[in-house]
Amino acid sequence: MATQQKGIMGPISGKVGDKVYSSRNGTCYVKSLPKKSTKAASPAQINQRHKLRIAARLISKIQNFLSASAKGKPLQYFGVGFAMKTILTEAISGKFPDLKIDYDRIKLSKGSLELPQLQRFELDSNRLLQIGWYAQPGVCGYISDQLVVFFCEESHGRIWVSPVKNTIRRDGELAIDFSSAKAGQVIHCWLAFKSVETRTYSQSIYAGMIVIPPKTSIHDSV
């Protein structure tokens, strides 16, 4: 609905019928509403739409992290813009309906902080994911850098930030319990560091993939 400001002689703003009215610097502008296209989408357009849906779904649960990592920076190069761009251009291959996610090509953070140097990534017999990294930073890192861990279960299709607290670069290792996970789940993992000294981030790295095994019963272990 259109509104009229400053009395009956004032400018109109809003929609009237199939026209949209606006004003800027004392000048009134009128535009026609765009008409819905009746033309069928091309294969390239359909492919791009499905890629966008996949990318948006992947990052839907890490919006807060992405926003925090891009604070004070150009959004097209950091945060949501960076994640969406790299997923769309590097991490989704094939053509619809056979699109494929290349999880090892997904990047979730970007920055000048020294990235994690992975030394261990394996799921042990107790369903504990053992992650190890080089604990001594170089010139672009600090021993107090906080570890950020991301996971994505393939059938779920969404990345989440693991609630890892008080784990820093100097610790060099971390164990995460997957005892309650369902057998057969395929889970991908990424790591990054966040500096408490400079509020900067490292680029994320792909740590690897695990497949949750069936639980071992007491009889199986005897």
What does the pLDDT profile of the chain (222 residues) look like in tens digits?
A: 445 455 445 566 677 667 777 777 667 777 777 777 678 889 999 999 999 999 999 999 999 999 989 888 887 778 999 999 999 999 999 999 999 999 999 999 999 999 999 999 999 999 999 999 999 998 899 999 999 999 999 999 999 999 888 999 999 999 999 999 999 999 999 999 999 888 899 999 999 999 999 987 543 433
Each residue of 99-118: pLDDT tens digit?
999 999 999 999 999 999 99
Neighbouring residues of 150: CB distance < 8 A, sequence distance ≥ 6: 62, 108, 159, 160, 161, 162, 189, 190, 191, 192, 204
Helix 79-86 vs helix 43-59: crossing angle, to nearest 10 = 130
Sign of CA dihedral 49, 55, 59, 65: negative
Q: ∠ at Cα 114 (108, 117), nearest 5°? A: 85
Quick one: pLDDT at residue 191? Answer: 98
Task: Report the C-alpha gap between 44 and 182 in whole angstroms.
Answer: 37
Sign of CA dihedral 100, 104, 108, 109: negative
Query: How is residue 87 written in tokens?
Result: 């997923």
Quick one: pLDDT at residue 219? Answer: 39
Whether 137 and 145 have beta carbons less than 8 Å apart is answered as yes
Three-class DSSP labels, 99-167: CEECHHHCCCCCCCECCCCEEEEEECCCCEEEEEECCCCCCCCCCCCEEEEEEEECCCCCEEECCCCCC
Residues forming a β-bridge with 175: 130
Quick one: pLDDT at residue 9? Answer: 52
Quick one: pLDDT at residue 216? Answer: 73
Quick one: pLDDT at residue 6? Answer: 53
Measured in degrees and rounded to the nearest 5, phi and psi for residue 186 equal -105, 120
Domain ranges (residues) in the chain? 3-32, 43-211
- DSSP, collapsed to helix, strand or coil, labels residue 64 as helix
Assign residue 81 a region: left if phi > 0, alpha if psi is -120 to 50, beta otherwise? alpha
Whether 108 and 190 have beta carbons less than 8 Å apart is answered as yes
Domain 43-211 sits in CATH 2.60.40.10: yes
Each residue of 139-178: pLDDT tens digit?
899 999 999 999 999 999 999 999 888 999 999 999 999 9
Quick one: pLDDT at residue 29? Answer: 74
Whether 175 and 128 have beta carbons less than 8 Å apart is answered as yes
